Amino acid sequence: MLSNSGYGTRSDVTKAIRKGKVTVNGVVVKDNGFHVTEDDDIIFDGESAVSKSHLYFMMDKPDGVLTAMEDKRLPTIADFIPANLKNLKLSPVGRLDYHTTGLLIITNDGDLSHRLTSPKYEVPKNYLVTYSGNELGQTQIDEAASGMTLTDMDKPIKLAPAKLELLPNNQAILTLYEGKTHEVRRMISSWGCEVVELRRISIGEVSLPENSEPGSLIELSENQIHSLKAATGL
């Protein structure tokens, strides 16, 4: 239960149990095969341990990293996941491009993951875009809002309505309710501009903390998990 709930690798928690660092209902337990249920009061290294079937994290994805759990050549987000959380079937919710930074949710809750990426639930994803080229204006705000059609590939693609908010210094916040491939970059280039930097700053009500470090992995709070579930009808 401890290793499946993210408290360490099997060998870490076995060592801790053998050292007497785990109590169940107030009694030290030194047998790592001791059976527990959800009703048991488990203290691990002085802190209450809860059985979690699903784990939820946010990562500040660094630049130059693939949104994948393995790759033969390139660095991946798995390089930033500590050993004690490996083997828990964690995977990223949706993808950010190699050069996009910012908020990535990482979980082993397949239902939530599916819903957060499905356009059906219209969970807003906010991107801070720094672009080069002519300044965007009202025409682009209106086009984004009415659901534009991209014609940069073989077949035209109709996009869901999006919100474009202009900021000074060639920056903008683009809010998307779906996640088509390279959607932000393609919208920006359809306006004759180019993305210089792209950073996802929030998904639903979940944002990265202001001082987050690239590559950092932070467990979501109960409130954040609840808000994402509520946004997707779970």
What are the catalytic residues? 97
Q: Coil, helix or strand for 75?
A: coil
Helix pair 222-231, 110-117: axis angle to 10 deg: 60
For residue 5, give the amino acid letter: S
CA separation, residue 209 to residues 58, 69, 91, 166, 220 (Å): 10, 24, 21, 22, 11
Distance CA 78, CA 182 (A): 22
Q: What is the closest distance, in whole angstroms, from the C-beta atom of residue 97 to ligand URA in the complex?
A: 4
Among 60, 109, 143, 183, binds ligand URA (CB under 6 A): 183
In the list 55, 93, 96, 206, the residue contacting ligand URA (rule: CB under 6 A) is: 96
Q: Indicate the DSSP class of residue 120.
A: G
Strands 125-132 and 27-28: unpaired
Q: Find the shortest distance in angstroms from Cβ 182 to ligand URA.
A: 4
Dmax (CA) for the chain in angstroms is 69
How many residues touch ligand URA under the rule CB under 6 A: the total is 8
Should residue 172 be labelled a site residue for ligand URA when binding is judged by CB under 6 A?
Answer: no
Residue 148 is a binding residue for ligand URA (CB under 6 A)? no
Q: Give CA separation, 76 vs 63, 103, 214, in Å.
A: 10, 15, 13
| Residue 101 binds to ligand URA (criterion: CB under 6 A) | no
Kindly state whether residue 100 participates in binding ligand URA, applying the rule CB under 6 A.
Answer: yes
Residue 198 is a binding residue for ligand URA (CB under 6 A): yes
Query: Is residue 205 close enough to count as binding ligand URA by CB under 6 A?
Result: no
Binding part of the chain for ligand URA, among 14-22, 85-93, 95-103, 224-232 by CB under 6 A, reads: 95-103
Regarding 97 and contact with ligand URA (CB under 6 A), the answer is yes
61 scored as a contact of ligand URA (CB under 6 A): no
CB of 3 or CB of 140, closer to ligand URA: 140
Question: Taking CB under 6 A as the rule, does residue 182 contact ligand URA?
Answer: yes
Separation between Cα atoms, residue 49 and residue 2, nearest integer Å = 8
Q: What does the binding site for ligand URA look like in residue numbers (CB under 6 A)?
A: 96-97, 100, 182-185, 198
